[in-house]
Amino acid sequence: MTTRVDTLLTLSGVGKTFGGTVALEGIDLSIETGKVHAFVGENGAGKSTLGKLIVGVHAPSAGRIALDGAEVHFASPAQALDHGLVGISQELSLMPQRTVLDNIALGREVMRGPFVDARATRAAVQAVMDRYDMQVDLDARVGDIPVVEQQKVEILRALSRDARLIVFDEPTARLPSDQVAPLLALVRQLAGAGKAVIYVSHFLEEILEATDTVTILRNGRHIRTGPTASETHETLVEGVTGSVLGEQYPEITAPDAAQAPVLSVRGLSRPGVFENVSFDIRPGEIVGLAGLVGSGRSEIARAILGADPATGEIRFNGGDTGRSIAARLAAGMAMIPENRREQGLMIDRPIVENVTLSHLRRFSGALGLDRRRERAEVTQQCTATGLKYNSLDDPAAALSGGNQQKILFARAALGDPALLIADEPTRGVDVGAKRSIYDLIAGLAARGKAILLISSELEEILGLSHRVIVVSRGRVAGELEGADLTESALMTAAFSGT
């Protein structure tokens, strides 16, 4: 007995070069209808390029693409669309000023003679929404609806053009976290309706949750393709990075137990948020602050930094610091904030300004800002953090998420802080960049800095911390160290107060 597989698309020996850059080489792959097929890999692995070859944005430099067994050549996305192959790009391509209906129907209006038949056009769009059970408010202005609804509009536009295959390129990169699940549900729904879906992402959790097949790309090469069900987080990380998981976390050296704490927190309280929190951090020690979302982790960190008011005692470097955030920063605290876009980076400003923000005083003298010294020190910090950039004058927005995060590390390091608070330092960065951020944290600790690490990723907390404070409902529910520092002990403590 043979299992029938509906192969829509076959790629044989496909390659793509851009000038001197080999983006893809020797890709053999088939794409099936009714399946969600993930392309996973680090930044620059070739995921987007592969998707673009399929939807006619680029033409392959080598190899063949066959649709229903017959070789095809697309000179443009419009030609690929004629064959039912559609890409939903990283940056949405909708007209924000126009209505949802206009955006879906544009170019597909039902005509009566030379005129658009508005009622029939609307009915045709409504029929597509009904058929796929995907409702949106047709009269809303696209610019006014949430990103996930805008994605729905793009999907409906594709469906109303009889799409057979839809490529999603990093669709969740711009989504708030509560909209990720609805988007994944949409993706599953499309496969359920018999569409072939390609899902490009570097978020392994999304891949494991929502896809049927996964193709791993590394440096433009096809590493493997197989059922998602036979992959785990670990095997994907190994495939994507080419290194075994044991190397995912750097060695951390034990702090000197004889040294006095850098930070002593005693009885820190903020009514209704956290209560009676006490702990120490020594020089060179990485202390994890773990707990469920909403347990008060970030709020405790903000209070330590002086960003929020709290009662209790905070001793830093053996003394009292002022209450204000400015006083605490001046005393040698630094923070990598949870939401780098909203709290940390000026995304449209040059890298150099982002690094020196909050340190400008250092470079000001009687004659104004010493630009040359500023650039020299920034360059040094950027090199030390492994930031990849072309020019210090490029906007932060030009960099990948991992490199944006490194800007914040460079900024923090520039102040030579005694304590670094890192709140979700690897959120939204790919696995390769994660490792370099872990190296940065371990390196700072090795140079005697005290680190307070907040993360929702248990593995990260376990892999990187010397000691972990577990918070549950605003109270310290446990302090784990050495052999006691296990995933189950951590989870038990995290859930203890709930």
Residues in touch with Mg ion (CB under 5 A): 48
Beta carbons within 8 Å of 320's beta carbon, 6+ residues apart: 314
With contacts defined by CB under 6 A, how many residues of the chain interact with ligand ADP? 11
Q: Which is nearer to Mg ion, 167 or 471 (CB)?
A: 167
Q: What are phi and psi of 496, to 5 degrees?
A: -60, -35
* Placement of tokens 């002022």 in the chain: 322
**Please, what is the minimum distance in Å from the beta carbon of residue 90 to ligand ADP?**
9
**Please, what is the minimum distance in Å from the beta carbon of residue 249 to ligand ADP?**
24
| Interface residue with ligand ADP, options 11, 14, 38, 47 (CB under 6 A) | 47
Starting at the edge strand found earlier in the chain, the sheet holding 70-71 runs: 21-32, 7-18, 62-67, 70-71
**Please, what is the minimum distance in Å from the beta carbon of residue 16 to ligand ADP?**
8
Q: Which is nearer to ligand ADP, 60 or 478 (CB)?
A: 60
Decide: is 44 part of the binding site for ligand ADP (CB under 6 A): yes
Q: Which is nearer to ligand ADP, 89 or 160 (CB)?
A: 89
Please choose which of ligand ADP, Mg ion, none residue 56 contacts, taking the beta carbon within 5 to 8 angstroms, the exact cut-off set by kind.
none
Distances (CA, A) of 182 to 3, 99, 198, 258, 316: 32, 22, 17, 51, 45
Q: Which is nearer to Mg ion, 50 or 180 (CB)?
A: 50
Which runs of consecutive H residues, i.e. helices, occur in 163-264? 180-192, 204-210, 233-241
Total Cβ atoms within 10 A of residue 18: 11
The interface region with ligand ADP, picked from 44-52, 74-82, 282-290, 471-479 by CB under 6 A, is 44-52
**Please, what is the minimum distance in Å from the beta carbon of residue 174 to Mg ion?**
13
Distances (CA, A) of 166 to 157, 162, 172: 11, 10, 15
Q: Are 195 and 34 in contact (CB under 8 A)?
A: yes
Please choose which of ligand ADP, Mg ion, none residue 46 contacts, taking the beta carbon within 5 to 8 angstroms, the exact cut-off set by kind.
ligand ADP
Q: Which is nearer to ligand ADP, 41 or 306 (CB)?
A: 41
Q: Identify the helix (H) or strand (E) that includes residue 9.
A: strand 7-18
| Interface residue with ligand ADP, options 46, 255, 402, 428 (CB under 6 A) | 46
- With 0-12 / 13-18 / 19 or more C-beta atoms within 10 angstroms meaning exposed / middle / buried, residue 50 is buried
d(CA 214, CA 426): 23
**Please, what is the minimum distance in Å from the beta carbon of residue 218 to Mg ion?**
14
- Binding to ligand ADP (CB under 6 A) within 126-155 occurs at none
- Binding to ligand ADP (CB under 6 A) within 12-41 occurs at 18, 21, 23, 41
Which residues, in sequence order, are bridge partners of residue 141? 99
Q: Which is nearer to ligand ADP, 68 or 394 (CB)?
A: 394
d(CA 271, CA 65): 63
Q: Identify the helix (H) or strand (E) that includes residue 50.
A: helix 47-54
d(CA 108, CA 254): 66
Q: Which is nearer to Mg ion, 45 or 277 (CB)?
A: 45
**Please, what is the minimum distance in Å from the beta carbon of residue 52 to ligand ADP?**
7
Q: Which is nearer to ligand ADP, 46 or 56 (CB)?
A: 46
Which residues, in sequence order, are bridge partners of residue 320? 315
Q: Which is nearer to ligand ADP, 41 or 402 (CB)?
A: 41
Beta carbons within 8 Å of 225's beta carbon, 6+ residues apart: 29, 213, 214, 215, 216
**Please, what is the minimum distance in Å from the beta carbon of residue 23 to ligand ADP?**
3
**Please, what is the minimum distance in Å from the beta carbon of residue 169 to Mg ion?**
6
Q: Which is nearer to ligand ADP, 216 or 333 (CB)?
A: 216
| Interface residue with ligand ADP, options 10, 37, 48, 449 (CB under 6 A) | 48
Please choose which of Mg ion, ligand ADP, none residue 218 contacts, taking the beta carbon within 5 to 8 angstroms, the exact cut-off set by kind.
none
Q: What are phi and psi of 306, to 5 degrees?
A: 90, 10
**Please, what is the minimum distance in Å from the beta carbon of residue 220 to ligand ADP?**
6
d(CA 256, CA 243): 31
| Interface residue with ligand ADP, options 49, 103, 201, 381 (CB under 6 A) | 49
d(CA 448, CA 182): 44
Q: Are strands 286-291 and 467-472 parallel, antiparallel or unpaired?
A: parallel
**Please, what is the minimum distance in Å from the beta carbon of residue 46 to Mg ion?**
8
- With 0-12 / 13-18 / 19 or more C-beta atoms within 10 angstroms meaning exposed / middle / buried, residue 79 is middle
| Interface residue with ligand ADP, options 7, 43, 99, 269 (CB under 6 A) | 43
**Please, what is the minimum distance in Å from the beta carbon of residue 47 to ligand ADP?**
3
d(CA 338, CA 289): 13
Please choose which of ligand ADP, Mg ion, none residue 253 contacts, taking the beta carbon within 5 to 8 angstroms, the exact cut-off set by kind.
none
Please choose which of ligand ADP, Mg ion, none residue 45 contacts, taking the beta carbon within 5 to 8 angstroms, the exact cut-off set by kind.
ligand ADP
Decide: is 401 part of the binding site for ligand ADP (CB under 6 A): no
Decide: is 240 part of the binding site for ligand ADP (CB under 6 A): no
Residues of this chain that bind ligand ADP (CB under 6 A): 18, 21, 23, 41, 43-49
